[in-house]
A and B are shown apart, each in its own frame.
Chain A
């Protein structure tokens, strides 16, 4: 379930008779902006109708807007018409994700739990999570004045007098223990999302994080899912630690595949545009031995630094005694074999308390069980797991009847 902050609720004025089953997702990464256009089929699975990506030329808002328009136009070109609903993924490093658990003793255990009680519990946990998250954000960015806002909440686990229940509504009991996942982001990021939605002529139906949708994808298959998600982006690597299906916390470091790319440019004396091709040739082992070794050396050089960054991130998680041993990779870096190889072969985890030796798994589109085969079997979409996982947010909105509908 995705619940949106009040400031976004205006965007969710539902059309009662809407049969709309299409929506756009926008994933603004540190280097590339990606967009996908989805439709929901008769079996309640989602089909990828179009996909587009555009490299950001520069770091400013203008560059972001241009890349967004380019990517979205490519994504919706197949349908030839405007899509009303936009699910926006905030860059994961900007999001503060946490799961907060609260214990409540009810005054009237014999009475069934009402919606108003659940709303009250949610509000209490959210308030507590907000205070903690604001503090965390302030510490991370050394900005105690920074304002954050709620993106979405989702109940991870609820027990009533020790028994686990999926939905506590109408149950009786004295002691409720509820774990609520909350996602927050700085106000300016939400403003940015609104601005982009306005440019695209879409309604901002949800603002979320791909770390959340990936985790939710895995959790819906295994309610007690424990694992660590490592999203290796172009300029940022995000790590989220998940316990019992809820994201406990997330941290990011500004290291990613772009460092290797720049190193390749430096070593081979080529332009950034050429480095993409060189990297592809390297992956396919089509380079001459000398260039191959140079690229390999450059990649290893950057990944050696990256792996220290990853180790440093793990050491900075507060309150995690033992990390789950299952590590799931996604993002552009997961498509470069060296990252997975080094994680598997190097003794980087010796200072980190893992339950057992880390097991590295690359997340594939097949893990997104709600996608139709047209997406999971399409070679050009391989590696776009993070962006396509955002489809889950749209699917859940549709199930709640919260898709706005076609504005035409």
Chain B
């Protein structure tokens, strides 16, 4: 088929002409700037091949000067002579007629087959758009049914009590061991008796950070003065005898540093060593030792609480899930946990390798049914679809996310739960499938393509016809019911 082209036609326009041409061989006739370039020419050849066409660009697409054929040149048919037919013999007629009848019957049968048997499948892909909407929904345990107007769905309150024990290896450190002990001599040089209670602090004279305590109450008598006449009778001799007592002492803390050799001097608060002399003049203060041991730290307590919170929340949520029936859903973040009891077996600083926490909680949640959510969301989404579009519903395309928990709100004595739901769906241009099937019934394939090309929103389509027929007989089935039309979307 020859297609005239203009010098100013763009390459794209030439390509479209080739694509739209119904013939398999396309001859472009005329001069064109784009076709002076070899790459453009090669493109058109490749492009035509894609549509199983052959393009003839001519000699640089210079118009051919072929003269159209005159009617006379197209051939004059010889005049038929029908007069002899009536004179033919019956025998000759039958010899001709019988095969003709059979041929006619055969042709009739073939026609009937061609008319009634072919079937076609037309798969239409529509351009789709994504429609996404966020909808806030209230879940009300007091509600008996779905309320589309107020976006309320019924809910059920569930609760469980859950106890759990968590044991943690402690990480704190403390010093433990023996306190040094020994005996000191307390000498009272004053004129009054001295009494010291158990627990009285004795400070090492050489290191005021080393302290001991008296183990028992103690009375140290005052000094005594005696006067005896001299032997020569010239006067008297005065003798002072200090009060002395031995006392057991114990280091204030554990550790080797409290072990002291004989000869150490100790001071008692508010007493000078000139008045009250304390020294271990008889034996060494000994047996003091220390070593590090594990103990409960503040961090251990915080960690075990955190582990317990995560674990008990998870197990309580699992326990709640076991109570679900049908398509009930627990929204993420909606489980509320209240602690009923919390007991630690050790305190902070206490020596122990392990810390044990026992905790009991009550978990409560409001749950909803997915079907209720779908019931309320679908009509709301449909209300948001733009004109000339419809929801693509043939394969349940509504994607409804699980409800995202927003908060609880209490009113009229019931606790309602507010959720946000994201709904996603594909919307497609409205297509009347019945009308389309009627329109293409019995049509030649190019006409069907034209029709489908002009329908709005069509991305692509595929036509399959059975049985394969030669081009001249290849039409859509003449019986509408033999056309199966499926609609999909991109």
Residues of A within 8 A of B (CB): 139-142, 235, 251-255, 258-259, 262-263, 288-290, 292-294, 296-297, 300, 302, 305-306, 308-309, 311-313, 315-316
Chain A: which residue is nearest B19 at the CB level? A305
Given the contacts A235-B10, A293-B429, A305-B12, A316 and B42 also touching, CB distance less than 8 Å: yes
- Please list 30 pairs of residues, one from A and one from B, whose beta carbons are closer than 8 Å in the complex, sorted by A's number: A140-B38, A142-B38, A235-B10, A251-B39, A252-B37, A253-B40, A254-B34, A254-B40, A255-B11, A255-B43, A258-B10, A259-B10, A262-B10, A292-B129, A293-B127, A293-B456, A294-B456, A296-B127, A297-B127, A302-B12, A305-B15, A308-B15, A308-B46, A308-B50, A311-B46, A312-B43, A312-B46, A313-B43, A315-B42, A316-B38
Bound Cα distance from A305 to B389, whole angstroms: 28
B11 touches A254 (CB 8 A): yes
B47 touches A305 (CB 8 A): yes
Bound Cα distance from A349 to B13, whole angstroms: 24
Q: Which of A252, A289, A311 contacts B389 (CB 8 A)?
A: A289
Chain A: which residue is nearest B48 at the CB level? A308
Given the contacts A254-B34, A289-B129, A312 and B42 also touching, CB distance less than 8 Å: yes
Main secondary structure of the interface of B (DSSP, over half): helix
In the bound complex, residues from chain A placing their C-beta under 8 Å from that of B456 are 290, 293-294
- Check if B36 is an interface residue, CB within 8 A of chain A: yes
- Check if B63 is an interface residue, CB within 8 A of chain A: no
**Which residue, A142, A293, A296, has most C-beta atoms of chain B within 10 A?**
A293
- Chain B 14-25 interface 0/1 with A at a Cβ cutoff of 8 Å (1 = within): 011001000000
Nearest 4 pairs between A and B by C-beta? Answer: A259-B12, A312-B43, A312-B46, A254-B11
- Check if B388 is an interface residue, CB within 8 A of chain A: yes
Given the contacts A258-B10, A290-B456, A252 and B60 also touching, CB distance less than 8 Å: no
Q: Which of B10, B36, B43 contacts A141 (CB 8 A)?
A: B36
Known: A251-B39, A308-B15. 15 other contacts (CB 8 A): A142-B36, A142-B38, A252-B39, A253-B40, A254-B40, A255-B43, A258-B10, A262-B10, A288-B386, A293-B429, A302-B12, A305-B15, A305-B47, A312-B47, A313-B39
Closest-CB distance, B38 to chain A (whole angstroms): 5
A289 touches B388 (CB 8 A): yes
Chain A: which residue is nearest B34 at the CB level? A254
Bound Cα distance from A251 to B10, whole angstroms: 18
B12 touches A141 (CB 8 A): no
Bound Cα distance from A306 to B40, whole angstroms: 11
Complex interface residues of chain B between 263 and 309 (CB less than 8 A to chain A)? none
In the bound complex, residues from chain A placing their C-beta under 8 Å from that of B50 are 308
**Which residue, A262, A290, A300, has most C-beta atoms of chain B within 10 A?**
A290
Chain B: which residue is nearest A300 at the CB level? B459
Closest-CB distance, B340 to chain A (whole angstroms): 54
- Check if B172 is an interface residue, CB within 8 A of chain A: no
Chain B: which residue is nearest A302 at the CB level? B12
Closest-CB distance, B129 to chain A (whole angstroms): 7
In the bound complex, residues from chain A placing their C-beta under 8 Å from that of B19 are 305
Closest-CB distance, B383 to chain A (whole angstroms): 16
Bound Cα distance from A302 to B459, whole angstroms: 14
Closest-CB distance, B474 to chain A (whole angstroms): 25
Chain A: which residue is nearest B41 at the CB level? A142
In the bound complex, residues from chain A placing their C-beta under 8 Å from that of B459 are 300
- Check if B457 is an interface residue, CB within 8 A of chain A: yes
A254 touches B10 (CB 8 A): yes
Total interface residues in chain B, CB < 8 Å: 27
Given the contacts A253-B40, A289-B389, A308 and B47 also touching, CB distance less than 8 Å: yes
Bound Cα distance from A259 to B459, whole angstroms: 19
Residues of B within 8 A of A (CB): 10-12, 15-16, 19, 34, 36-40, 42-43, 46-47, 50, 60, 127, 129, 386, 388-389, 429, 456-457, 459
**Which residue, B36, B43, B129, B456, has most C-beta atoms of chain A within 10 A?**
B43
Given the contacts A142-B60, A262-B10, A253 and B43 also touching, CB distance less than 8 Å: yes
Chain B: which residue is nearest A252 at the CB level? B39
Chain B: which residue is nearest A309 at the CB level? B43
Bound Cα distance from A297 to B389, whole angstroms: 16
Given the contacts A289-B388, A308-B47, A315-B46, A140 and B127 also touching, CB distance less than 8 Å: no
B60 touches A255 (CB 8 A): no
Chain B: which residue is nearest A140 at the CB level? B38
Bound Cα distance from A4 to B143, whole angstroms: 85
Closest-CB distance, B263 to chain A (whole angstroms): 82
In the bound complex, residues from chain A placing their C-beta under 8 Å from that of B16 are 305
Chain B: which residue is nearest A138 at the CB level? B38
In the bound complex, residues from chain A placing their C-beta under 8 Å from that of B40 are 253-254
Bound Cα distance from A19 to B291, whole angstroms: 82
Closest-CB distance, B10 to chain A (whole angstroms): 6
Closest-CB distance, A250 to chain B (whole angstroms): 10
In the bound complex, residues from chain B placing their C-beta under 8 Å from that of A312 are 39, 42-43, 46-47
Q: Which of A293, A302, A306, A316 contacts B39 (CB 8 A)?
A: A316
Bound Cα distance from A289 to B388, whole angstroms: 8
In the bound complex, residues from chain B placing their C-beta under 8 Å from that of A296 are 127
**Which residue, A235, A289, A311, has most C-beta atoms of chain B within 10 A?**
A289
Bound Cα distance from A311 to B318, whole angstroms: 58
Given the contacts A305-B47, A308-B43, A311-B46, A255 and B12 also touching, CB distance less than 8 Å: yes
